[in-house]
Structure 1
Amino acid sequence: MIRALVADPTIALTMRLTMVPEPVPRQGQVVIEVHHASLNHGDLNDARSGRIPPGGVLGSDIAGVVVRAATDGTGPREGVRVVALAQGAFAERVAVDAASVATVPASVDLSVAAALPVAGLAPLRTLRACGSLLGKRVLVTGASGGVGSFAIQLAAAAGAHVIASVGSVERGAGPREAGADEVVVGLKGIDTPVDVVLDNVGGPQLVQAWSLLAPGGSLQSIGWTSGEPAVFAPYATVGPQKALSSYLTTGDAGSDLQTLVHLVETRVLTVRIGWRGSWDRFAEATEAMRQRRVNGKAVLDVATPGSMRTAQYSDETA
């Protein structure tokens, strides 16, 4: 048996640490000993909404070491440091499709790699879908979080003029450091149409962002942290052609994860860790995220109890 963080709708936290059976890998899967896991807003929603059934293991983002290679010879061998996108990732050991695993060089800390899968794949793939960004105006909403930070850096590296939208003046420092050309609170002060929107907020702000799109523009809906409905006025979507696209991380992730790891290794991409601590203190991390007190990613240390660190708030980057 191993420890895991599972959904439990009968308690206020909607999740708890408990014992679950050891993973049994299928063909084409490796078993990873998890050293670090990254907590996402989606994990909190999964625990509350019932999308993960009671007793189901939560989580998607992990980094650690392969302890059992795939029997078909695919993927990394035993002892290799890796990052992975995996269903039911918050456990001491996890069976993962080899096609959704990337290797991590010694120069990249595993705690940093753990922050990459969900928050890095969304902007990487949606920005890629928008074509060339050189000289384009890109608006990123919810820009002070982990997804927003990656989106700003990737868009800026592609030559875009990046506008970061945050919830308060105090949350503007991180986006500026990530490379945003402009930082606004809400959408105030944006008086020139934008070509691309990466929206993490949803609700009324998504509707307003749609109205800011230039003809031919693209709005990529990659999150919905507001939890509020988006209500469009009659005929709001009738006019010059522009697109609103939904996004969900699906399919094999290994190749894109390897790209993200390379961007971290070459210092094109910086990972901001705003909360880090033992997964025994997951309640602290979830509460901080729900109260919007984490600037960047929240990383849980899963490894052995002797190696776990005290939870801390920081501006740690790598």
Structure 2
Amino acid sequence: MATRALIVDPSTPDGLAFGQIATPVAGPGQVLVEVLHASLNYADLNDVTSGRVPAGAPLGLDAAGVVLREAADGTGPAAGTRVVLFAQGVFAEQVAVEVSALATVPDGLGLAEAAALPTAGLAALRSLRAAGVAPGKRVLVTGASGGVGRYAVRLAARAGAYVIASVGAPARGDGLVEAGAGEVVVGLDDVKEPVDVVVENVGGPHLVRAWELLAPGGSLQSVGWTSGRPAVFPPYATVGPPKTLTSYVNEFGAAGDLAELVRLAAEGALVPEIGWRGSWERFAEAADALRGRRVRGKAVFDLETRGRGGYRTED
């Protein structure tokens, strides 16, 4: 038996192709899930070229669907439960994942919206937690129009911080004030006062300038590097009053944090913004849009044939 999946294929222009993989068998402590929606991330595109996911293996980290078979050891949700996943290789019609890799999706939250949460939502939630976000702190979010950025703006504002959202163009700032930003700026030239926390998604010169803006005792969380440009620090830039630059990576085993994210989304405190949605047959289009920064928020695949297509900003 085999199941269809989106696999790494170095022979194709995009490095991806549809293929057949062995139908997964859930081991003890694992559930078998039918995937209905999945979300594409920069991390997935990097995995295609970096070799972290070997040729022939399925791509993907974020998905949502329905439990087909519950764990044999009695842990985890029952068959028929709607769940959100954060695990390796979830761009497949069926996946077997550890119970620690999923959370139940509450009533009132769609599965497509849930699929948009894991990678970006976890990065925002965990980086802000690590940085010690608190009421009254000044928080700078770079690349604020993307998936991580928009979640970080909402979560930091919810924590009582004053949020400065930096975007690459005026139009990309749409909706960020409503999400809780006190200021929306293009680039960083208009940020004059020091900040206590930076959630840095852009890398390159943005990272250098954000470090300069960081106040003594502050924390810069390096979450992404969408610019693809090098960061060149001037001499002595890292010598002076203590402050920290922390490299960030999403760790698996995220059941508790996933549960928090879907709870916040179901309550309306966290809004999954889907800027592109379509059939997974159109993965190349979604990948091109993501690389070209034409997606505001998240790009979500529908594995069902009735999925809508193309960009959307309202719905």
* TM-score above 0.5, yes or no: yes
Contact between 1:174 and 1:295, CA under 8 Å: does it hold in 2? no
SS of equivalent to 1:209? helix
CA distance in 2, matches of 1:105, 1:250: 23
Shift of 1:122: 0.6
- Which one-letter code corresponds to 2:153 in the other structure? I
Following TM superposition, the consecutive aligned residue runs of length 4 or more in structure 1 with deviations greater than 4 angstroms are none
- Which one-letter code corresponds to 1:86 in the other structure? A
Deviation sequence 1:208-244 (CA, Å, 0-9, x none): 1000000000000111111122221221101000000
Match of 2:121 in 1: 120
- Which one-letter code corresponds to 1:60 in the other structure? L
Does 2:225 align with 1:224? yes
Alignment of 1:1-318 (within 5 A): 1-303=2-304, 305=305, 308-316=306-314
Deviation sequence 1:161-214 (CA, Å, 0-9, x none): 100111111211132232211111110210000000000111111011000000
CA distance in 2, matches of 1:282, 1:272: 18
Contact between 1:176 and 1:183, CA under 8 Å: does it hold in 2? yes
- Which one-letter code corresponds to 1:189 in the other structure? D
CA RMSD of aligned residues (A): 1.1
CA distance in 2, matches of 1:51, 1:60: 13
Shift of 1:26: 2.5
Change (3 A) 1:136 1:251: same
TM-score by length of 2: 0.97
- Which one-letter code corresponds to 1:53 in the other structure? P
- Which one-letter code corresponds to 2:21 in the other structure? V
CA distance in 2, matches of 1:98, 1:120: 19
CA distance in 2, matches of 1:74, 1:312: 39
CA distance in 1, matches of 2:267, 2:71: 29
Contact between 1:272 and 1:316, CA under 8 Å: does it hold in 2? no
- Which one-letter code corresponds to 2:261 in the other structure? L
Contact between 1:102 and 1:257, CA under 8 Å: does it hold in 2? yes
CA distance in 2, matches of 1:299, 1:154: 21
CA distance in 2, matches of 1:207, 1:132: 21
Shift of 1:132: 4.3
Deviation sequence 1:89-134 (CA, Å, 0-9, x none): 1000111110121001221100000011000001101111122420
CA distance in 1, matches of 2:292, 2:175: 17
CA distance in 2, matches of 1:186, 1:54: 38
Change (3 A) 1:251 1:45: closer
Change (3 A) 1:174 1:48: farther
Change (3 A) 1:251 1:291: closer
Contact between 2:133 and 2:156, CA under 8 Å: does it hold in 1? no
Contact between 1:149 and 1:174, CA under 8 Å: does it hold in 2? no
SS of equivalent to 1:314? coil
CA distance in 1, matches of 2:229, 2:288: 20
SS of equivalent to 2:199? strand
Structure 1 stretch 168-177 or stretch 105-114: which is displaced more?
168-177
Q: How many residues align?
A: 314
CA distance in 2, matches of 1:142, 1:182: 14
Aligned identity (percent) is: 60
CA distance in 2, matches of 1:105, 1:54: 36
Contact between 2:64 and 2:112, CA under 8 Å: does it hold in 1? yes
